[in-house]
Chain A
Amino acid sequence: MYFESLSAVWHMDGHGFYVWLAYAFTAIPLALTVWLPINRIRQHWRWLQAEQRRAASASSGSANEAGG
């Protein structure tokens, strides 16, 4: 470990602002590029399963609508 205290980590001898700003500008977009497609997959998947249930209940007739 190079730094001796948390405030030294934060200040980084006057460069802390630049370093932490750069890491923030990296972490946020990267988290979004991973999260957005995962969210899209989840939505598509939910839509597919709902569609399956709709198809199943339609084929089994109106008497058995709760099933599926």
Chain B
Amino acid sequence: MNAEKCEFLAANQQIEIIPRISEKVVHLISGDVGPFEAGIPTKIPVWMALMLKRKHHCHIVPPGWLAIEELKKILISESDNLGLSHLPDMFFELSHMLVKEASDNIFEVDQVKSLIQDIYDKREAKLRTSAITFLSQNETCHAQLDGVQPIEVASSRATLEACKQMAILIRNKHQSTPI
């Protein structure tokens, strides 16, 4: 799993749009979408929303959490909380796609961007510290990381190789007989 594939999966999520066109129900393999009526909000998969957006056929309604006030709350809880706080599903993937492709539908997009970056940095720092703590012990081979986002797992995939080396070391230690 890499960042592109995380984003691909995130594009299957549903998002609200306000269409500018009218269209009958579309029967997709992944389910029916529509009918569309200009001006009436409806929910469709993100990939389709972005596609319509590129053709100027719709206005994307950003999810409730993609607003300055909400993001500030998340940032504060991220600072107060020692562990990772719980974010909406596919938080970074969705916000990245929306900021990139639908920036004109997001209110004060620059501030939104910098808040998301702050949240990401805070979480990354926590993850890095916990990875270092985990890799510098030799008692347990289990760690719980609730609320971790797919993109964060993708970027900390290298830890797995380190864990493997550790497991090999531990096994060798158990197999060798003390003198």
Q: Do A and B bind each other?
A: no
A-binding residues in B (CB < 8 A): none
B-binding residues in A (CB < 8 A): none
